[in-house]
């Protein structure tokens, strides 16, 4: 069975630019308010050269947001990326060079850095998990899992964070509640059981016509077997230990796409991948983010 990314987001230049423009407008409104009081101390005619440094190794992500902040706060600024989007930088490496009005650069500084530190952190963590899966495939022939994100994102920044997962080599899960069906334990309980809730999906054509996919969460092997018998094509294995995961893969026998959730970290992801599951979803990619350290420094003043 082929593993698909669902839903598919096309990160075109126009899509990213429009998304970044909206995100940055909110961020600047929050930060600048009625005006940058401190930047007003700098002569309006002052032109500055600056560089943004990464203080640690990272996958660079967030270029469209940095550029949007510069366009909005320092429209005449010019810039040159020294490390391209999605590429790895080294500690103390210059990733971006800037020239423009000092006031505008100072006003844009924190917003530029905030987006770079957040999105680069998500991309970097994702890349680490992807690399771990790749390493596991060298010693386990049945490794085929994909690292997948979740809806555990910062409010208002979901698409930005999902783009960062993509930038780090991960795959996107559903975007929200509107584009795919993920039946969890409370849905199952409210509907009366696994078989009943899957039957309800088939009886609701409006869902089937819109949903990118239908996935059901199970907590036991008995629930898995029931879901497969009821025609499930995508199953989320929730918080199962390794022996149970291996048995789930055996029982499934390729009938459905199997996704693992819960208990995934850098210490466990290789062994989970080695069970032969198709997807490994990790909320920590976007939820538990430790920002990458960036700084901006003026030059030649």
Q: Which residues are annotated as catalytic? A: 110, 152, 184, 217, 238
Burial readout 233-255 (b: 16 or more C-beta within 10 A, e: otherwise): ebbbbbebeeebbbebbeebeee
Which residue's structure tokens are 């963590």? 125
CA distance linking residue 22 with residue 181, whole number of Å: 28
CA distance linking residue 221 with residue 225, whole number of Å: 6
Q: Return the closest-CA partner of residue 292 out of 149, 160, 95.
A: 95
What is the CB-side half-sphere exposure of residue 269 using CA atoms within 13 A?
A: 26
Backbone angles phi, psi at 278, to 5 degrees: -90, -35
Surface-to-core class of residue 75, CB atoms within 10 Å of its CB (0-12 exposed, 13-18 middle, 19+ buried):
exposed
Find the distance separating the first CA and the last CA of the chain, reported in whole Å: 61
- Contacts by residues 262-267 (CB-CB < 8 Å, ≥ 24 positions apart): 262/238, 263/239, 266/128, 266/129, 266/132
């Amino acid at each position: 069975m082929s593993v698909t990314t669902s839903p598919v987001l096309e990160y075109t230049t126009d899509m990213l630019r429009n998304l970044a423009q909206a995100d940055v407008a909110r961020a600047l409104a929050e930060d600048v308010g009625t005006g940058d009081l401190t930047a007003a101390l700098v002569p309006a005619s002052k032109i500055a050269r600056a560089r943004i440094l990464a203080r640690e190794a990272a996958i660079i992500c967030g270029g469209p947001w940095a550029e949007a902040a510069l366009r909005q706060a320092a429209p005449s600024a010019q810039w040159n990326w020294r490390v391209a989007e999605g590429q790895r930088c080294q500690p103390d490496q210059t990733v971006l060079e800037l020239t423009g009005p000092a006031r505008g650069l100072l006003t844009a500084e924190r917003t530029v850095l905030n987006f770079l530190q957040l999105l680069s952190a998500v991309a970097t963590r994702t890349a680490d998990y992807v690399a771990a899966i790749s390493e596991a495939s060298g010693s386990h022939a049945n490794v085929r899992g994909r690292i997948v994100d979740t809806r555990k994102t910062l409010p208002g920044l979901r698409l930005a964070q999902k783009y960062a997962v993509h930038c780090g080599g991960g795959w996107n899960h559903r975007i929200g509640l509107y584009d795919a069906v993920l039946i969890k334990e409370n849905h199952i309980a409210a509907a009366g059981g696994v078989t009943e809730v899957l039957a309800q999906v088939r009886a609701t054509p409006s869902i089937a016509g819109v949903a990118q996919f239908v996935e059901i969460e199970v907590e036991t092997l008995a629930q898995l077997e029931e879901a497969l018998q009821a025609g499930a094509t995508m199953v989320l294995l929730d918080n199962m230990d390794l022996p149970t995961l291996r048995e789930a893969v055996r029982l499934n026998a390729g009938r459905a796409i199997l996704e693992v959730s819960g208990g995934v970290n850098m210490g466990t992801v290789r062994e989970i991948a080695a069970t032969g599951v198709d997807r490994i979803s990790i909320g920590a990619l976007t939820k538990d983010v430790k920002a990458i350290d960036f700084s901006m420094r003026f030059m030649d003043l």
